[in-house]
């Protein structure tokens, strides 16, 4: 699993940063990828990356400000025009369904693949055998959410040597044993796979914040997460201005990660006033409080 930042700017694109979009590559767990926000120009960024539109399973929208959704109609229609038939589920606040359907209708566009649109509120919005996704309400001028992605614990490593020692040879049922299931072997023996597994492998937890001023929901959203992605729109000296517009400063993002006992913080959503040469100064403000901080730039890739 890895995070690829397709856009890391706030509000408007700049020469160095496109507006917000993040791809979560799930390969190693499943074959597809998920997208978080889809600002204007996201499909252009995808063309310059390893993300495959046909492998997109889900799109999660934090809120309906333009720098987070104006790329959606173009991405969806291009995906359709390229003959992709695999469906997508789109999650977002109330109004996302109207936005997408109206954009397609007024532009005379249509889709050749199934699109399920789920308008979300706070709480669990998705769960399967691999992941659980929970939405947390944030503090912003419009309804906005952050997403906590929790990978379920995975079965421990199968002790193949011990199986062989017990006279159980590799075969078609080994995959079931690796999952800890009880199977009946071809010779009639009933084997409990869980007896041959090592300790369970703890699943990873990722917290992706939408735009927000400091908020009470942060402690639960980011609690002990392996990776937290949080906006740092403005520097510490401009904290009052940031908060007044529903945003956070560098210091506030770092303080949140420290208080939540997160393992790693990645800051993004930086104002277009900041150039590449400002990066180290902004990053230093965070690292003075939470040393395990990195800054995302467009096309930055972070393994999880």
Q: Residue 173 above 90 pLDDT?
A: no
Average pLDDT over residues 265-277: 95
- Residue 187, pLDDT score: 75
> How far apart are the C-alpha atoms of 59 and 38, rounded to whole Å?
8
Average pLDDT over residues 19-32: 90
Average pLDDT over residues 156-160: 79
More confident residue, 131 or 30: 131
Q: What mean pLDDT is reported for the chain?
A: 93
- Residue 157, pLDDT score: 80
- Say whether 247 counts as a known binding-site residue: no
What percentage of the chain has pLDDT greater than the value 70? 99
- Say whether 211 counts as a known binding-site residue: yes
Lowest model confidence (mean pLDDT) among 89-98, 99-108, 175-184: 175-184
Tell me, yes or no, if 159 is annotated catalytic.
no
Average pLDDT over residues 87-104: 97
To the nearest 10 degrees (0 to 180), the angle between helices 279-287 and 250-259 is: 30
- Residue 111, pLDDT score: 95
- Residue 92, pLDDT score: 98
- Say whether 166 counts as a known binding-site residue: no
> How far apart are the C-alpha atoms of 27 and 12, rounded to whole Å?
31
Pick the catalytic residue from 37, 67, 259, 278. 67
Lowest model confidence (mean pLDDT) among 13-17, 60-64, 253-257: 13-17
- Say whether 297 counts as a known binding-site residue: no
Cα–Cα distances in angstroms (integers) from residue 127 to residues 3, 131, 156, in the given order: 20, 6, 21
Helices (H), the chain: 42-47, 66-69, 72-81, 96-106, 160-165, 174-178, 218-222, 239-244, 250-259, 279-287
- Residue 158, pLDDT score: 77
What percentage of the chain has pLDDT greater than the value 90? 80
CB 41 within 8 A of CB 122: no
Lowest model confidence (mean pLDDT) among 38-52, 76-90, 181-195, 206-220: 181-195
Average pLDDT over residues 184-212: 86
Q: Residue 127 above 80 pLDDT?
A: yes
| Lookup: tokens for 39 | 């600002």
154: confidence class by pLDDT, cuts 50, 70, 90: confident
185: confidence class by pLDDT, cuts 50, 70, 90: confident
- Residue 199, pLDDT score: 81
- Residue keyed to tokens 């539109």: 53
- Say whether 269 counts as a known binding-site residue: yes
Q: Residue 176 above 80 pLDDT?
A: no
67: confidence class by pLDDT, cuts 50, 70, 90: very high
- Please give the helix or strand (H or E) that residue 146 lies within, else none: strand 145-151
């Amino acid at each position: 699993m890895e995070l690829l930042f397709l856009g890391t700017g706030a509000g408007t694109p700049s020469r160095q940063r496109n507006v917000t979009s993040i791809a979560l590559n799930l390969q190693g767990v499943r074959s597809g990828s998920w997208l978080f926000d889809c600002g204007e120009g996201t499909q252009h960024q995808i063309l310059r990356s390893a993300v495959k539109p046909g492998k997109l399973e889900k799109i999660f929208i934090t809120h309906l400000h333009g720098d987070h959704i104006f790329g959606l109609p173009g991405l969806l229609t291009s995906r359709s025009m390229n003959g992709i038939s695999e469906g997508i589920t789109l999650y977002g606040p109330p109004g996302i369904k109207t936005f997408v359907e109206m954009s397609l209708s007024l532009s005379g566009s249509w889709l050749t693949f199934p699109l399920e649109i789920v308008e979300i509120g706070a709480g669990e919005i998705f769960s399967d055998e691999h992941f659980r996704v929970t939405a947390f309400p944030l503090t912003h001028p419009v309804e906005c959410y952050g997403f906590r992605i929790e990978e379920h614990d995975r079965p421990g490593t199968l002790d193949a040597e011990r199986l062989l020692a017990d006279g159980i040879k590799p075969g078609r049922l080994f995959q079931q044993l690796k999952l800890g299931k009880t199977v009946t072997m071809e010779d009639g023996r009933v084997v409990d796979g869980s007896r041959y597994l090592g300790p369970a492998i703890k699943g990873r937890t990722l917290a992706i914040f939408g735009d927000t001023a400091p908020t009470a929901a942060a402690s639960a959203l980011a609690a002990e997460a392996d990776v937290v992605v949080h906006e740092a729109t403005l520097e510490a000296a401009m904290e009052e201005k940031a908060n007044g517009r529903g945003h956070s400063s560098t210091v506030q993002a770092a303080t949140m990660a420290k208080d939540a006992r997160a393992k790693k913080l990645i800051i993004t959503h930086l104002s277009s006033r900041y150039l590449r040469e400002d990066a180290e100064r902004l990053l230093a403000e965070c690292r003075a409080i939470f040393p395990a901080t990195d800054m995302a730039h467009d096309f930055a890739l972070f393994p999880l």
